[in-house]
Every structure is written in C-alpha cells, then in structure tokens.
Amino acid sequence: MIKKDSLIKGTLVLAAAALVARFLGLFQRIPFDYIFDAAGGAYFTLANNTYLLLLVIATGGIPSTISKMISERYAQGRIDEAQQIYRAALRFGIVAGIVMSCGLFFSAPLILDKLARNPGATLAVQAIAPALLLFPVIAMMRGYFQGRQMMTAGGISQIIEQILRVVTGVGLALIVVSLGYDQEWISAAATVGSVFGSIGAFGVMLWYAYKLKRQDAAEAAAGGRPMVDTKRAVRSPLKYKAIYQEIFKMSIPIVMTAMTVQLIYMIDSFFFNPLTASYYTPEAADHALKMLGIKAQAIAGIPPILAIALSTSIIPVISSAFATGNLQEVQRQGSLVMRIVLFTGIPAALSLTVAATSVTGSIYETAEGSAIVAALTAGTIFQITMMTSNSMLFGLGNARAPMIHTILGIVLKIIASIALGPILGVYGLIIASTLCFILITMLNLRTIGGVVKLQVLGSRWAAYLTVIVLTGAAGFGLDWGGRQLLQSWPDRLAYLATAAVTGMAMLGLYLLLLIVMRVVRESDVKSFPGPLRKVFGLLMRLVPAKARGASGG
C-alpha cells in the first residue's frame, strides 16, 4: 500500500534518494577522471550540463506546479479535476520529450561550433539527447505523486535511474577505451548512460502508477473516497486550454527559478573559453574546465541534497495550509524547514570546503583542482537558502517574485562573470555565481517576510555564526595537520584518513557547540525527527545543565 508522507518523512525519503543519486554520480566521475584527458573531460562537462539545463527547462517547473495543483484539489475534495490535470500534464510531457530530444540532437553541431567554440563535444551531446524523450513524462508522474504527498515512488525511481546511468555509462566508456577510440567517442559513450537511466526510472514510475490505481479502486470499493472514473465525464470538466493556462502561468516562473543552478553551470561551461581567454591558454582552459566539471560540480552537489528534498516536499505542505487559510501552519512548517536547512546544509558545505584538498585527493586520482572545489562548495551555502526560499514562495502561490529575483540574479551573474572572468579565471566565474545566489536569497526572504514572519533562530543568530566559525577553524586546522602528519603514507590513504577524521571531528564539535552555545535547547529537540532527538538527547546529558534552557526565540 502506498501511504502519504509527512513533511519530515517525505523530506527524508527524497533526501535519501538524492544522497544515493549524488554519491553514485560522484562515483561515476572517479573513473572518468582517469579515462578522460583535459579535452575529453571538457566534452563530457559540456554535454552533461547542456542536457541537464534542457531537462530543467522541459520538466523543472511543471512537476512542482502539478504537485501544487494536485495537493490543493485533493485538499478541497476536487478529485476529478486533479485527475484531469494529471492527464494533461502527461500529454505535455510526451510532446516536450519529442521536441527537446530532436531539437538538441539536430542543433548540437551548430551550437557547439559557434557558441561554445568546442565542436569536439558534438558526439557527446547527440548521444545524450535521447534521454530527454522519457524524462518529461517521468517528471510529470513524480509531480503527481508528490502532490498526493507520496514521495517514495519518485525517490525509488531516482535511485534506479542513477544506478543504471552510472553502470552503463562507465561500462560503455571502458569498452570504447579498450577498442581504441578517441576522446570524442569515449565521452559520447559515457553520456549514453543517461538514456538507460531514463528507461529504468520510467519503468519504476509505471509500476507505482499501476499500484496506486489499484489502491484507489480498492478504497472506493471499501467505501473510502469516491473512485475517479477517468472515462466518465465529470459534472464540470476542465478544458485543456484552461488547465494549460493554469499550469503555464505557474510553471514558467518555476522553470526560471529551477534552472538557476544548471543555467549557471551551462554559462560557465559554454562560455568558459571566451570569458577566460585572456587568463588561460586554450590547453589550460580545457584543464580548468575539466576540474570544474568533473571534480568541483560533482562534490558541490552534495551539500544541497537535503535542500533539494525539502524544496520538493515543502511545496504541497505549505500549499495545502495556505489554501485553507492556515497561516499559523505555514509559519510553523516554513520555520522548521529553514532550521533544518541551517543545521544540516551549512555544516555539510563547510566541511567539504575546509577539507577540500583531502576530499578531492581521496576521491580522484590527485588532489589537483581542490581550490576550485573549495570555492564552488563554499557558495552552495547560499544556493541552499535560495532553493528553499524559492519553494516556500511557490507554496504561498507567489511564483512571480522568485522569477523576478532569479532574473536579477542571473543578470548579476553575467555582469560579474564578464568583469571577473578575464582577471580571475575560473574563480571569477565562481564568485559571480555566489553573488547571484546571495542576491536571490535576500530578495526571497524579504518577500516571504511580507506574508509570514519566520521564526528561525531569533536572538541566537550570533551564537550560531560563532559555532560555524569555530567549527570551520577547527576543521581547517585538522585537515592541514593531518596531511602534514601523514606525508609518509600513500597519498590516497593519507587523504582518505585525513578527510574521515576531519569530517567526523567537525560533526561532533558542531553538534556539541550547538548545545553549549545554546543554539539548540531542550525545548527545540522535542520538535525534531526521532533520530535527531536521540542524538541531541544523548549530547544534552553530556553538557552541564546550566548550558541548557528554554528557546529564546
């Protein structure tokens, strides 16, 4: 039986799926670091980022919109309308998949030659294009399940997708290498894994759709909610024109915001050579782009995992509460989400930033490029808050504000990249991206504050920032000291040991300081999920009673 998920459970399901997906994606990059030279790494980065951007454009807004529209109508008992919306979304997904896949395949030679000035990536882009056929439909199905607050289906499909993508991508690349093909063909073989991943994900979603249909029929027979007969004309059927008007009115702004990170990555990939031409030689530019795409973007994708899950699961929850006028619940859920983001996303980004050398060296062939990894990962702190605040505004029915904020942020990104790229190279592009995230976050939070006043940390902000500074300083010292102490060890082993010790020490210190500095108090722990309550309950017993107290706002 498929059950509804609470905000916490839904978030944990999606976070677990995203965590598995990210680590599988990171695992895929490890053999690629050996297989690709600088040119091959650049080809793969261009193909992957182009595909991911187009995937967001084709699917990024509508699933979130479907989730919101479905959750609202189920909350109001308008189930027939919810089913009509779902069918309309599926039809759009089919058309979008055909258009996007064919468009990418046939336009690749022109785009990569004229815009990216890297025609060698053409085969890789064309090889990944067929994956766009199924993913729009998959996204619509995930949006429907999310709207009914059933996150497991999407999470399982995401895991299967990544397993097949990694296994087939790496396997095909190794086969092509053994046959003696050049880097263009190797990168193309590596990207084909995404096609197999889409097939696996689609199969999972079909299975869950079949199970849910049988479950709905069983509930109707047992006297539950009315069974929706999709073949029966409803009393006041919605016209497809009206459905698509509602979908696109909401989804276009969501697409604009959902594509922010991937658009930034594509800008950096496509225009890397033109923007940094005065800073790098062509060979050095390919090498820096490989470090950015193969290493930095893969590692920087880890800290936002929970934020991605929260951003997905919070929309139907806030939307349902807002649709019934329950602003107190909107405030409670929104404040809880922001606290979870602060307590989890920021320390994850901080750990990977200060220990970037050891983390990079333990995963890849060498620690080269770790400074790029650190710079990009540090900026994900603001990427996390941007994504979460975007979704909160969507749940409040205000899609226009984050769209405008995103446009302003992208404009700032482009201007800053043009200004900083020629003088700082890849670091100039990363700084420009971070400025974009900061601007969007600030504008989003100001808009949310006009509807509900979030109660995140209140007077404890100074204490929390102190915790972050102390934890970061300790981690930096441990990472540096560990690498110096273990210089006689084999490089990979030394990096791995240092990264593990640094990460565990930072986590323990961070949790302990949250209590010692009274950022987290006994009254706060009661609202945490079960596993967190146990962890903090144990730590509370290790801290003197005078260091604990009631929440101070």
pLDDT tens, position by position, 196-231: 999 999 999 999 999 988 888 887 777 655 444 444
Backbone angles phi, psi at 450, to 5 degrees: -80, -10
pLDDT digits (tens, 9 = 90+) for 418-467: 999 999 999 999 999 999 999 999 999 999 988 888 888 888 899 999 99
pLDDT digits (tens, 9 = 90+) for 319-355: 778 877 888 888 888 887 788 788 888 888 999 999 9
Torsion of CA 52, 57, 61, 62, to 10 degrees: -100
Comparing CA positions, the residue from 298, 297, 334 lying closest to residue 315 is 334
Note the Cα 329 to chain centre separation in Å: 26
- pTM summary value: 0.74
Distance CA 387, CA 381 (A): 10
- pLDDT of amino acid 227: 45
Lookup: tokens for 533: 């309550």
Lookup: tokens for 545: 């009673």
pLDDT digits (tens, 9 = 90+) for 57-76: 766 667 777 887 888 788 77
- pLDDT of amino acid 233: 41
- pLDDT of amino acid 301: 86
**Contact present, 11 and 309 (Cβ < 8 Å):** yes
pLDDT exceeds cutoff 80 at 289: yes
- pLDDT of amino acid 353: 96
pLDDT exceeds cutoff 80 at 17: no
Weakest-pLDDT range from 37-41, 476-480, 500-504:
37-41
- pLDDT of amino acid 58: 65
246 against 494, higher pLDDT: 494
- pLDDT of amino acid 552: 42
Share of the chain above pLDDT 90, in %: 40
75 against 289, higher pLDDT: 289
57 against 272, higher pLDDT: 272
- DSSP readout, 461-525? HHHHHHHHHHHHHHHHHHHHHHHHHTTTS-HHHHHHHHHHHHHHHHHHHHHHHHHHTTSS-HHHH
Lookup: tokens for 64: 């979130």
- pLDDT of amino acid 553: 40
Work out the average pLDDT over 395-401.
85
Q: Which of 128-132, 142-146, 305-309 has the highest mean pLDDT?
A: 128-132
Work out the average pLDDT over 394-413.
90
